[in-house]
Amino acid sequence: MIELLIVIAIILILAAIAVPNLLRSKMAANEASAAASLRQISTANAIYSTVYSIGYAGILANLGPMGGACATVGSNCADLIDSVASGVNPATANPIKSGYKFTYYAPLAVPTIASPNSTFAAVGVPTAFNSTGVKAFCVDHSRNIREDATGAFTTATPVGCTGWP
């Protein structure tokens, strides 16, 4: 009987040590995924601005695949990023992927050749701070990914990641 209690105590001690490390590993994986998603958005926007000659995408869904009212690849659905990151499936302006919510900023929702988007910004913040992640990330037309672990920065502007570290 005592041996069984000792074995149970050892298992509980090991679990108490392992669970926090597992949660930290999951947060690190979510943060890496968020940074990678923003890198994809940045790269897709560079391709988009070259192919369509209207500057950067007006909304995040413009970078995503065909779906809904969009029947062919074009400036409304360039098929450059996946359907989750673009907010196409499920349909949302602020998609959530790997515990991070993404928000996209551009000067014009519908850019044209005469009035192109010359800037953009995209921000990824944890959906549950200190649970799904700690760091917030921002990328803009400079293609530099900035990060903030303080929780002070959660938004950007259409002209970029102004004030981010």
pLDDT tens-digit map of 22-67: 888 999 999 999 999 999 999 999 999 999 999 999 999 999 998 7
d(CA 100, CA 136): 9
Question: Out of 29-38, 120-129, 134-143, 146-155, which region has the weakest mean confidence (pLDDT)?
Answer: 146-155
Closest by CA to 33, choosing from 95, 91, 119, 106, is 95
d(CA 64, CA 41): 10
More confident: 23 or 87: 87
125: pLDDT strictly greater than 90: yes
d(CA 150, CA 97): 21
Closest by CA to 63, choosing from 79, 51, 74, is 79
83: pLDDT strictly greater than 70: yes
19: pLDDT strictly greater than 80: no
15: pLDDT strictly greater than 80: no
Sequence-ordered list of residues with C-beta below 8 angstroms from that of 95, at least 6 positions apart, any chain: 60, 84, 85, 86, 87, 101, 102
Domain borders along the chain are: 2-148
3: pLDDT strictly greater than 90: no
